[in-house]
Structure 1
Amino acid sequence: MLPAVVLGACTQTQAEVERAQVRDAGVQEKLAKELAGLVPGKPETCISQFPQKQSSGYGATILYRVNNGLVYRSDTVGGCEGIGRGDILVTRTPSGQLCRGDIAQTFDQSSRFPTGSCSFGEFVPYRKP
């Protein structure tokens, strides 16, 4: 009986699955809107942290806006989805670059408690044609 209870606690209901799918579809729609009119380029392993870039989160994807004509996209692995709700993204990179595999942490803006961490994927530049 105990294994059945444990298994039941780990499964999602159909309603939870459907809500997650709707939420994910909304996130993907917002991401597509941000990248509309831009053309993806060759993925890069590292990007410079300077000049300072505006970052925004869309699910597991982070966009770094350099200017109106250049945005870098990095699909992360882990738990940095909190930046989509306003959490602060913190990186510790002594080289002055953000690189694939670097670890980032997220923190709640008001409490300053950690809310997640993730590793960066490749950085895909999106440019105006």
Structure 2
Amino acid sequence: MRGLTMLSTAFLLPAIAGCTPAPAEQARIDQRQATERADLDKALRGLIPQKPTQCIGQYQTRQVTAYGPTIVYTISPRLKYVSETQGGCETIGQRGRNDILVTRTTTGQLCAGDIAQTVDRVSGFFTGSCSFGPFVPYRPAK
């Protein structure tokens, strides 16, 4: 049994180590996340968060943008809804990508827990998916 444990450990440790990004890759990840946070801060500048809501009307949205796992639905310059996802839909905000967010609803509303998919606009292939969190409205300070 002891030999089996040592053998298992010998194979498991390199596999775990392989999941850790190299320093250069980690630096790129950190830089991308910092850029996404700065872009999100800029998009929400002058707006303050309000009480979260579980659903928003899908058809009043003018623009949808991803900042990493955060999706911003722009209704107007004075109203934006922010939903944190578990990730998977970041490609709608990446430079050099042409992905769109596809949602399916029978109610005309997007709700926390709904699943969205990203689709390459040219090929039509699905490229990712994510689940919405609550929608936090951001409005100008009064």
> What's the TM-score bracket when you normalise by the shorter of the two chains?
over 0.9
Identity of aligned residues (%): 51
- The structure with the larger Rg is 2
TM-score, normalization by structure 2: 0.84
Q: Which runs of 5+ in 1 are unaligned?
A: none
Q: How many residues align?
A: 129
2:107 maps to 1:107: no
Q: Does 1:62 align with 2:71?
A: yes
The residue aligned with 1:47 is 56
Q: Aligned partners of 1:9 and 1:113: how far apart in 2?
A: 29
Q: Residues 1-129 of structure 1 correspond to what in structure 2 (within 5 A)?
A: 1-85=10-94, 86-129=98-141
CA apart distance, 1:95: 1.0
Q: CA RMSD in A?
A: 1.4
Structure 1 runs, 4 residues or longer, greater than 4 Å off? none
Is 2:103–2:115's contact at 8 Å kept on the other side of the alignment? yes
Shift of 1:8: 3.7
**2:36 is matched by which residue type in structure 1?**
V
Taking a change above 3 Å as real, the CA distance of residues 26 and 78 of structure 1, as seen in their structure-2 partners, is closer
Residues 73 and 82 in structure 2, CA contact (< 8 A), matched pair in contact too: yes
In the alignment, the residues of structure 2 paired with residue 50 and residue 115 of structure 1 have an alpha-carbon distance, to the nearest angstrom, of 23
One-letter identity of the residue aligned with 1:60? P
Alpha-carbon shift at residue 4 of structure 1 (Å): 4.3
Task: Report the Cα offset of residue 53 of structure 1.
Answer: 3.0
Q: Deviations over 1:8-67 (max 9, x none)?
A: 432211111111011100100000000000011000000111224311111001111101
| 1:21 partner letter | D
- Aligned residue identity for 2:83: S
